[in-house]
């Protein structure tokens, strides 16, 4: 049983190599699809088998690579948190792969890099050696740069290059941090670092602060919190749809969980307070940009950043309740965000249009996708009885002691409702709407566009969408098992604080949010609101500024502790 | 002293990444920053008067071999990253006919 972590990394890597070999034999693409699908299903079965050891017996699976034990060798660890994220990653990867099966543009290279991405992801989760974590992060990121640029369109390539440069800078900061850790405590294994690398054990406070900041900022670029998020909207919007779902659904969260683990291990509690503020800003700011977007996938990408803010702010609050809320929201967000990306991808597949002003009246054309999208949109807006409501309730209940972040989170929820109402209009509005000053086309042109051009969506695209929407509904109706499961088996703490999810106060609050959101949507559609949103959408910082912001945020992380003291 | 020089090299690299307009120069900056980190790691393991860690008879005073092994990996990763970045730059040059980042951003906005 102890070799389970190893298999989770090896199986996708092996399948990827097999795909490359098979490609030389010039066989059918079907065999390649079969190999990648079966490798992911095998990994899923293996993760399923380990549930007994990890969640029920509460053991940690340890595998020593090459037989070298802890301080010297590289170890693979699998505890509750690692199991959780590994399981989630494999599930989302399975759905993304099923979704991409019928797309004709995807050659063997796509499946090859997809599996490499999966292997890198599992490695980041499971390794217990910080340098090994760096290597797996680089594997993950190189695969994702290539996959983002897969369509070879100019804006996809530009987005990929921006991501590469920002993330490359971040990774060298991370490597510098690893060097400082090695200098400080002479070991790279996370367990050993936890024992020896702390202020109380001879590490100067400034050095400690600098090292942890370098590591957090380095990884944080992939976790995309403010102000490190500027690469994300382009990269996630112009990637192929299954990859957008995978990146938004799981990769940014894996990076955040890596930060989570490192902060827990070195017990840098003072950083949690900073994350409270960063998280609340991260929740609020991107919503403003999302409201002004016209590209449907870019709007979703901005919301990925915003929802990461919800996860980060409740991590910052630090109590058991808020950590449970954070993990629950992480779980929910992976499901509903991949659902939303899949359904928007289906819309783009069917119509070849990305601009939401040009899309309308799609409900009749694709009712299945529309209903699933509605479920996803209600989940992300936090409307009962869907899963987003439960985790947002947990998060706002845990923020009672911090009024300002609470207000930020509330405003972010209002903005989320408004921008998803805007997105929902592509399904709900009538086909022939009056031409306003937003588009350059004449009345009647729209209807003609749709009746002629709509393509049939293959079944492999519809199945993941429907299954994910059912998951969103079920995990909203039966939240208690998941809350108990997260707090008892993953965080290993008993959630003594009892909370009523479906109380009248919570439901009223979410209805209030909903009504405010509708009003905000009405405001955006007025002439004045349109002018504002046009102005906002033009305020995008370029590559140089986003690189500069990396350094600025590093400086903030290093000195904030002193600022708080005085 | 060596540590300060390495740090200076790192800062030069970061300055190159941030302030240069030319995409190739940005990549060169990234490489300089990476090399500075590599040098830093080698310096951590180094002690004056010690020799290479090849264990034969009579050799006692050796440097720490672990950072060197780590840096071999880091250098390989750096090469992959540089190759990919240059390939992307080539694609962008074919598209926009320029390497200047501000001009490229302006052209991309107009699309």
Tens digits of per-residue pLDDT, A154-175?
889 999 999 999 999 999 999 9
Q: At A21, list the tokens.
A: 């070999």
Instruction: Give the Cα separation of A175 and B67 in Å (integer).
Output: 12
The mean pLDDT of A103-122, rounded to a whole number, is 89
| Nearest of A12, A87, A377 to residue A257 by alpha carbon | A87
Burial of A162 (0-12, 13-18, 19+ CB in 10 A): buried
Q: Domain locations in chain A?
A: 1-128, 158-267+540-566, 272-525
With left for phi above 0 and alpha for psi between -120 and 50, is residue A152 left, alpha or beta? Answer: left
Check A179 against B41: CB less than 8 A apart: yes
Check the CA dihedral A428-A433-A436-A438 and report its sign. positive
Q: Is B109 helix (H, G, I), strand (E, B) or coil?
A: helix
Check if B102 contacts A (Cβ < 8 Å): yes
Question: What's the pTM?
Answer: 0.92
Check if B14 contacts A (Cβ < 8 Å): yes
Q: At A282, list the tokens.
A: 């991260």
Check A544 against B19: CB less than 8 A apart: yes
Tens digits of per-residue pLDDT, A293-328?
888 889 999 999 999 999 999 988 878 888 888 999
**Residues in chain B, how many?**
111
Picking from B41, B70, B95, the nearest residue to A154 by CB comes out as B95
- Numbered residues of chain A with Cβ closer than 8 Å to any chain B Cβ: 131, 134-135, 138, 142, 145-146, 149, 152, 154-155, 157-158, 160-161, 164-165, 168-169, 172, 175-176, 179, 182-183, 188, 542-544, 547-548, 551
Q: At B40, list the tokens.
A: 């830093």
Check if B91 contacts A (Cβ < 8 Å): yes
Enumerate the residues of chain B whose CB falls inside 8 A of the CB of residue A158: 92, 104, 108
Picking from A134, A157, A544, the nearest residue to B88 by CB comes out as A157
Q: Is the pLDDT of residue A147 over 90?
A: yes
Burial of A39 (0-12, 13-18, 19+ CB in 10 A): buried
Picking from A152, A161, A172, the nearest residue to B34 by CB comes out as A172
CATH top-level class of B2-110: mainly alpha
Tens digits of per-residue pLDDT, A441-488?
444 455 445 555 677 888 888 888 999 999 888 888 888 888 888 887
For residue B51, list its beta bridge partners.
B62
Would you call the peptide bond into A385 cis, given omega within 30 degrees of 0 as the criterion? yes
Q: At A324, list the tokens.
A: 């449970």
Beta strands in A345-466 (DSSP E): none
Instruction: Give the Cα separation of A198 and A522 in Å (integer).
Output: 53
Burial of A453 (0-12, 13-18, 19+ CB in 10 A): exposed
Q: At A161, list the tokens.
A: 């290059």
Residue A295 has phi, psi (to 5 degrees) of: -80, 125
Check if B108 contacts A (Cβ < 8 Å): yes
Check if B2 contacts A (Cβ < 8 Å): no
Give the residue on A whose Cα is nearest the Cα of B68.
Answer: A179
Check if B88 contacts A (Cβ < 8 Å): yes
Q: What is the ipTM of this complex?
A: 0.94
Tens digits of per-residue pLDDT, A48-99?
888 877 777 777 888 888 888 877 788 888 888 888 899 999 999 999 999 9
Q: Going by DSSP bridges, is the β-strand pair A75-78/A61-64 parallel, antiparallel, or unpaired?
A: antiparallel
Residue A239 is given by DSSP the state S
**pLDDT value at position A173?**
93
**pLDDT value at position A443?**
47
The Cβ-side half-sphere exposure at A268, using a 13 Å CA radius, reads 27
Give the residue on A whose Cα is nearest the Cα of B28.
Answer: A165
Give the residue on B whose Cα is nearest the Cα of A172.
Answer: B34
């Amino acid at each position: 049983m102890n070799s389970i972590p190893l298999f989770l990394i090896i199986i996708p890597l092996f399948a990827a190599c097999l795909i490359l070999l098979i490609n030389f034999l010039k066989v059918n693409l079907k065999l390649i699809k079969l190999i990648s699908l079966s490798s992911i299903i095998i990994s899923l079965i293996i993760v399923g088998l380990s549930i007994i050891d990890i969640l029920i017996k509460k053991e940690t699976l340890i595998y020593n690579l090459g037989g070298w034990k802890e301080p010297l060798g590289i170890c693979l660890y699998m505890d509750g948190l690692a199991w959780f994220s590994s399981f989630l990653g494999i599930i989302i990867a399975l759905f993304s792969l099923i979704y991409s099966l019928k797309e004709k543009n995807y050659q063997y290279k796509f499946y090859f890099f997809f599996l490499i991405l999966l292997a890198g992801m599992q490695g980041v989760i499971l390794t217990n050696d910080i340098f090994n974590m760096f290597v797996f992060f680089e594997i993950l990121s190189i695969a994702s740069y290539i996959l983002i640029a897969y369509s070879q369109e100019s804006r996809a390539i530009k987005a990929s290059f921006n991501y590469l440069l920002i993330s490359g800078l971040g990774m060298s900061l991370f490597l510098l941090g690893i060097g400082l850790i090695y200098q400080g405590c002479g070991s790279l294994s996370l367990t050993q670092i936890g024992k020896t690398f702390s202020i109380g054990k001879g590490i100067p406070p400034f050095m400690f602060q600098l090292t942890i900041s370098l590591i957090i900022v380095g990884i944080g670029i992939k976790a995309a919190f403010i102000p490190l998020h500027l690469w994300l909207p382009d990269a996630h919007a112009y990637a192929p749809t299954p990859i957008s779902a995978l990146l938004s659904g799981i990769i940014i969260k894996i990076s955040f969980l890596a930060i989570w683990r490192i902060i827990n291990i070195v017990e840098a509690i003072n950083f949690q307070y900073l994350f409270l503020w960063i998280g609340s800003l991260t929740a609020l700011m991107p919503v403003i940009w999302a409201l002004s977007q016209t590209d449907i996938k870019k709007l979703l990408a901005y919301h990925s950043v915003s929802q990461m803010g919800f996860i980060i702010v409740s991590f910052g609050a630090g109590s058991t309740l808020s950590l449970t809320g954070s993990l629950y929201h992480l779980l929910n967000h992976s499901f509903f965000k991949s659902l939303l990306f899949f359904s928007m991808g289906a819309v783009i597949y069917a119509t070849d249009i990305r601009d939401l002003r040009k899309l309308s009246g799609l409900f009749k054309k694709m009712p299945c996708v529309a209903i699933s999208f509605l479920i996803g949109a209600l989940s992300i807006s936090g409307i009962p009885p869907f899963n987003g409501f439960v985790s947002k309730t947990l998060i706002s209940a845990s923020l009672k002691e911090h009024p300002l972040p609470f207000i930020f989170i509330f405003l972010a929820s209002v903005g989320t409702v408004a921008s998803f109402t805007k997105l929902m209009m592509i399904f709900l509005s009538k086909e022939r709407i009056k031409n306003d000053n937003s588009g350059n086309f004449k009345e009647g042109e729209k209807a003609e566009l749709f009746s002629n051009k709509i393509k049939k969506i293959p079944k492999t695209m519809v199945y993941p969408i429907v299954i994910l929407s059912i998951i969103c509904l079920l995990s909203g109706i039966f939240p208690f098992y998941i809350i108990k499961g997260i707090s008892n088996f993953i965080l290993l703490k008993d959630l003594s604080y009892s909370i009523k999810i479906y109380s009248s106060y919570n439901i009223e609050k979410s209805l209030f949010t909903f009504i405010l959101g509708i009003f905000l949507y009405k405001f955006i559609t007025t002439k004045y609101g349109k002018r504002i949103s046009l102005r906002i959408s033009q305020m995008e910082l370029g590559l140089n500024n986003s690189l500069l912001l990396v350094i600025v945020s590093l400086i903030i992380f290093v000195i904030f502790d002193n600022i708080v003291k005085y | 002293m060596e540590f300060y020089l390495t740090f200076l090299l790192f800062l030069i690299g970061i300055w190159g990444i941030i302030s240069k307009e030319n995409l190739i120069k940005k990549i060169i900056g990234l490489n300089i920053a990476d090399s500075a980190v590599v040098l830093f790691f080698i310096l951590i393991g180094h002690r004056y008067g010690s020799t290479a860690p090849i264990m034969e008879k009579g050799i006692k005073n050796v440097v720490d071999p672990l950072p060197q092994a780590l840096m071999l990996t880091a250098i390989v990763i750096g090469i992959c990253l540089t190759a990919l970045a240059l390939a992307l730059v080539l694609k962008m040059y074919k598209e926009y006919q320029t390497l200047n980042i501000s001009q490229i951003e302006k052209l991309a906005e107009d699309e």
